[in-house]
Amino acid sequence: MVTRRGFLKTVSMASAGLALGTNDLLHAQTVPPKKGRGDKVKIAYVGIGNRGEQIIEEFARTGMVAVTVLCDVDMGAKHTQKIMAKYPKAKRFRDFRQMFDKASNEFDAVAIATPDHSHFPITMLALASGKHVYVEKPLARTFYEAELLMQAALKRPNLVTQVGNQGHSEANYFQFKAWMDAGIIKDVIAITAHMNSSRRWHEWDANIHKLPSGQQLPKDLDWDTWLGVTPYHEYNEDYHLGQWRCWYDFGMGALGDWGAHILDTAHEFLELGLPYEITMQYANGHNDYFFPYSSTILFRFPQRKGMPPVDVTWYDGLDNLPPLPAGYGVSGLDPNIPASSQGDVSETKLNPGKIIYTKDLIFKGASHGSTLSIIPEEKAKEMADKLPEVPKSPSNHFENFLLACNGIEKARSPFEINGVLSQVFSLGVVAQRLNTQLFFDSRTKQITNNEFANAMLVGLPPRKGWDEFYKL
């Protein structure tokens, strides 16, 4: 059993090392040696069911990959059979460590679509093995893991990294930059981000006092590898196939899942960096094991390069709609949101999205690649002839990664950009888990008002045999 005192003692040295770091990360990426646009990238897929299947199909549509290796802890289960049948000649592994050990010379890039808690060890081993990496968001589950991955990528500038927030290669990305360059988006002072759909929510009892009891393992599942760096848990179906996202030990909740699709462009182009204050303002169903049914979290970002401070307020949960400005109008829904094992996102009264407040204008937008619009409508009509032309995206997110591997483009969501956003979400999750207010020093990368919360930036020590990934 891990005691509070032991937890603090174990992580104190790792936490102290967080400041060693990534101030020089921005724009550190270099382009690999240039190849022909038609050259195929030899790729290995880790996680081939559900979301993994979706990104594999997206990569296939580019016509730019040669699939040489498949890896999944559930290899042969119903949700992995389609991809296995599609690539019968690809080598197969259930343990990613064996994949790198036995087949590393067969691929140049890795695409990772596994639960949040396993992103770190697979991605770190891929970088250490000299492979380009595409990994689903969030980049990592803890602040410290994201820090280590950013540093690892910085040390290997010829490797391409891309985090799977697809909207970073779609219309909103190019519109946000063009509108900022033209002075349409300026003096942002507040952002409301919201995810109030039923997808990802569960109906477990918030009065839970222990983890679920163990159940019989499915015959195809390598549970030890699925657990990875996390402390041992007995298998239970409520951890598996998308349910892991709801548990603090395995996932990042709605914030880590949807924040990257809602706040990514604002975070990058407004250069928000890391917040100095994170406050849990509302929690419905708070407990020690899984994410609340509803959350309101305030992130406060300081002044930057002459831009005013920004308050970002996150709302999630079916009963937790944010206040809307006058003239908001209809809530949009991005048609490109992929389905998941939890189902589609159906249109609701307020679909996932954001409201951006500046000193002069208000913008609203949906999630993923959806473009912003000025509200109210009368103001949008008044501004119509002042809006700049927005360039078309030269490539979607998957093409962008592959073209970057061939030295033709730069990845749009590399670790040095997305990793800091992942750390913002990690801070939010700590505030959620402790249901409290935190003060954060971005220079030392320490939480200054709560010793226990500060230790959670690193998290529990990895299981025996899994600590090697933190040393690569």
pLDDT score of 22 more than 50 = no
Q: Which residues contact 115 (CB under 8 A, 6 or more apart)?
A: 226, 244, 245, 250, 251
CB 95, CB 103: distance < 8 Å: no
The verdict on residue 321 lying in a domain is: no
Torsional class of 437: left (φ above 0), alpha (ψ -120 to 50), beta (otherwise) = beta
The verdict on residue 83 lying in a domain is: yes
Output the CA angle 337-339-342, nearest 5 degrees. Answer: 125
Q: Is the peptide bond before 376 cis (omega within 30 degrees of 0)?
A: yes
Per-residue exposure over 206-230, b if at least 16 CB sit within 10 Å of its own CB, e if not: eeeeebbeeeeeeeebebebbbbbb
pLDDT band at 203 (very low <50, low <70, confident <90, very high): confident
pLDDT band at 15 (very low <50, low <70, confident <90, very high): low
pTM: predicted TM-score of the whole model, two decimal places: 0.92
The torsion angles phi and psi of 302, rounded to 5 degrees, stand at: -80, 175
Which pLDDT score is estimated for 6? Answer: 54
The verdict on residue 159 lying in a domain is: yes
The verdict on residue 375 lying in a domain is: no
Bridge partners of 295, per DSSP, are 283, 316
Q: How far apart are CA 359 and CA 434, in angstroms?
A: 34
The residue that leads in pLDDT, 3 or 82, is 82
| CATH code of the domain in which 65 resides | 3.40.50.720
How many Å is the Cα radius of gyration of the chain? 21
Which pLDDT score is estimated for 339? Answer: 67
pLDDT band at 71 (very low <50, low <70, confident <90, very high): very high
Q: Which domain holds residue 157?
A: 19-166+399-417+461-470
* Tens-place pLDDT, residues 279-332: 999 999 999 999 999 999 999 999 999 999 999 999 999 889 999 999 998 887
CB 417, CB 232: distance < 8 Å: no
pLDDT score of 165 more than 60 = yes
CB 141, CB 426: distance < 8 Å: yes
**If you count DSSP H runs as helices and E runs as strands, how many of each does the chain have, helices first?**
14, 15
* Tens-place pLDDT, residues 167-200: 999 999 999 999 999 999 999 999 999 999 876 6
3-state secondary structure at position 46: strand
Per-position DSSP letters for 169-201, written without gaps between them: GSHHHHHHHHHHHTTSS-SEEEEEEEE-SSTT-
pLDDT score of 234 more than 90 = yes
CB 274, CB 440: distance < 8 Å: yes
The verdict on residue 453 lying in a domain is: no
The structural domain count of the chain equals 1
The verdict on residue 264 lying in a domain is: no
Element (H, E) at 377: helix 377-383
The verdict on residue 158 lying in a domain is: yes
The verdict on residue 51 lying in a domain is: yes
* Tens-place pLDDT, residues 247-283: 999 999 999 999 999 999 999 999 999 999 999 999 9
